[in-house]
Chain A
Amino acid sequence: SQKIEQNSEALNIQEGKTATLTCNYTNYSPAYLQWYRQDPGRGPVFLLLIRENEKEKRKERLKVTFDTTLKQSLFHITASQPADSATYLCALFSNTNAGKSTFGDGTTLTVKP
């Protein structure tokens, strides 16, 4: 069955450092992968999408890589700030109309001032 693993449940880093979150998957050939941010008690908010034929995508302080050979995506937040503290979810999507997705359990990032 399809499975997604995000590297750890919690990640604590110091303000200004780069946070790196990992998403590994098995038994899946996704068309694309997305990263979401979720604050406590709120719905997830879309951050970045990367397609199967893309290696890297950037948006401001965010960078996502996608290695379909390793079946892994890395999510980086550079110059991290306490406001970046949240849970980050990765999700894999197949390329069908139903767009069924598989979400990881998330990694909770805490950026300490």
Chain B
Amino acid sequence: SQTIHQWPATLVQPVGSPLSLECTVEGTSNPNLYWYRQAAGRGLQLLFYSVGIGQISSEVPQNLSASRPQDRQFILSSKKLLLSDSGFYLCAWRQWKGRSGNTIYFGEGSWLTVV
């Protein structure tokens, strides 16, 4: 069966420090991968998605970046964090199946507090 791992689960970082959140998926190949951010009490905002190695699409302008160095690895990074980067970050994957319908599966999330 497929599983998704995301880490770290919680981190507190000072303003201006770098960030690296990592996500790996097991039990599938060539998945679509996603990074979402969720502000408290709000829905999910899509930040980045990737349909293949090295292919990254950004949905919103920000000081974050994403990379996909391997098929099942997705990394969210920042060179200098801002206070507004605080939030709950979720990695997710999806297996494209054409018109048969698709489901997005989420990791457990990473709580980021920028102080």
- How many residues of A sit at the interface, in one of the four size bands? 20 to 34
Q: Does B101 contact A (CB under 8 A)?
A: yes
CA distance A101 to B92 in the complex (A): 12
Q: Are A99 and B109 in contact (CB under 8 A)?
A: no
Nearest Cβ in chain B — how far from A31, in angstroms? Answer: 8
- Closest A residue, CB atoms, query B52: A97
> Which of B12-20, B38-46, B62-70, B75-83 participates in binding chain A?
B38-46
Q: Count how many chain B residues have C-beta atoms less than 8 Å from C-beta atoms of the other chain.
A: 28
Q: Which of A34-54 contact B (CB under 8 A)?
A: 34, 41-46, 49, 51
CA distance A62 to B94 in the complex (A): 23
Nearest Cβ in chain A — how far from B30, in angstroms? Answer: 11
Residues of B within 8 A of A99 (CB): 32, 49, 94, 96, 102, 104
* Interface residues as binary, A71-109 with B (CB distance below 8 Å gives 1, 0 otherwise): 000000000000000000101010101111101111000
Q: Are B43 and A97 in contact (CB under 8 A)?
A: no
Quick one: given A32-B101, A43-B107, A43-B109, are A98 and B43 in contact (CB under 8 Å)? no
CA distance A4 to B99 in the complex (A): 23
Q: Does A9 contact B (CB under 8 A)?
A: yes
Kindly identify which residue among B42, B101, B107 contacts A51, using a CB–CB cutoff of 8 Å.
Answer: B101
Q: Does B1 contact A (CB under 8 A)?
A: no
Residues of A within 8 A of B57 (CB): 98
Q: Are A43 and B101 in contact (CB under 8 A)?
A: no
Residues of B within 8 A of A89 (CB): 43-44
Quick one: given A49-B101, A51-B101, are A97 and B32 in contact (CB under 8 Å)? yes
Q: Are A103 and B51 in contact (CB under 8 A)?
A: no
Other A-B pairs, 17, CB within 8 Å; known A42-B108, A91-B44 = A32-B101, A32-B102, A34-B103, A43-B90, A43-B109, A44-B90, A89-B44, A97-B51, A98-B32, A99-B94, A100-B59, A103-B44, A103-B45, A104-B43, A105-B41, A105-B43, A106-B42
Binding site for A on B (CB under 8 A): 32, 36, 41-46, 49, 51, 57, 59, 88, 90, 92, 94, 96, 99, 101-109, 111
